């Protein structure tokens, strides 16, 4: 029965690893059960498409091999909790960093597994600072709208000037006609 449960856990971890856009290994030693619950809630409040799970290292190694991601096994060291991010790549690191900063916690980060590569734990801060996809799209749209608005202003000025020239010429021709008032 215990082995069947372990197989189910390995299958669950394989599925999470395969579906996650980012996986972060966290050392949770020193946190009480209450602290872990608050950590889960805090991260989930900021990034709803995340999941924090305490894992057994041997099961994680089997799951990473089974998922075809053997490098991800490097995330499991000592007492490990895995933070899976299923949405935007920057959501989970941003939520984790914000919670750690607000609660003034000392949570060592073992590493980050993203796009098939195992990164050092220090990369979480760098990923947290990257703007999210909607923010980047808004910046690009804002950057494009400014030159377009300028071009529209220039074109309307040209049309206004052409219209003024045509109107002035029409008045000039009317004034030059012999039967004009």
For residue 99, the tally of other CB atoms under 10 A from its CB is 21
Question: What values do phi and psi take at 105, rounded to 5?
Answer: -95, 155
Distances from the Cα of 180 to the Cα of 37, 56, 171, 176, angstroms: 91, 100, 11, 8
pLDDT exceeds cutoff 80 at 139: no
Query: Residue 4 above 70 pLDDT?
Result: yes
Better-scored residue on pLDDT, 134 or 124: 124
What is the predicted pLDDT for the residue at 1? 46
Is the Cβ–Cβ distance between 110 and 26 less than 8 Å? yes
- Which tens digit of pLDDT belongs to each residue from 52-77? 999 999 999 999 999 999 899 988 88
Give the orientation angle of helix 33-46 with respect to helix 91-103, to 10 degrees.
Answer: 130
User: What is the Cβ-side half-sphere exposure of residue 136, based on CA atoms within 13 angstroms?
Assistant: 8
User: What's the confidence (pLDDT) of residue 87?
Assistant: 86
Torsion sign (Cα): 132, 134, 137, 142:
negative
Residue 143 clears pLDDT 90, i.e. is over it: no
Q: Are 105 and 67 in contact (CB under 8 A)?
A: no
Per-residue pLDDT, 179: 59
Query: Residue 51: its pLDDT value, please?
Result: 93
pLDDT digits (tens, 9 = 90+) for 101-130: 898 888 899 999 998 889 888 878 777 777
Model pTM above 0.95? no
Across 92-102, average pLDDT: 90
Q: Is residue 19's pLDDT more than 50?
A: yes
Residue 145 or 119, more confident? 119
Average per-residue pLDDT in the chain?
85
Tokens of 140: 């690009």
User: Is the model's pLDDT at 154 over the cut of 90?
Assistant: no
> What's the angle, vertex CA 137, arms to CA 135 and CA 143, rounded to 5?
105
Residue 16 has pLDDT above 50, yes or no: yes
Q: What is the mean pLDDT of residues 70-97?
A: 90
Contact predicate 82/55, CB 8 Å: yes
């Amino acid at each position: 029965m215990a082995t069947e449960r372990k197989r189910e856990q390995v299958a669950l971890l394989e599925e999470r690893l395969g579906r996650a856009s980012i996986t972060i290994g966290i050392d949770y030693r020193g946190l009480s059960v209450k602290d872990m619950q608050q950590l889960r809630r805090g991260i989930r409040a900021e990034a709803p498409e995340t999941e924090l799970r305490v894992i057994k290292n041997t099961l994680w190694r089997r799951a990473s091999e089974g998922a075809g991601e053997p490098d991800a096994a490097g995330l499991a060291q000592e007492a490990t909790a895995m933070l899976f991010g299923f949405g935007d790549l920057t959501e989970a690191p941003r939520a984790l960093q914000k919670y750690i900063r607000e609660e003034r916690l000392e949570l060592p980060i073992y590493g980050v597994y993203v796009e098939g590569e195992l990164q050092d734990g220090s990369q979480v801060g760098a990923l947290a600072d990257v703007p999210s996809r909607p923010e980047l799209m808004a910046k690009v749209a804002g950057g494009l709208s400014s030159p377009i608005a300028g071009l529209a202003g220039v074109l309307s000025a040209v049309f206004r000037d052409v219209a003024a020239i045509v109107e002035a010429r029409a008045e000039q021709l009317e004034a030059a006609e012999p039967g004009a008032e």
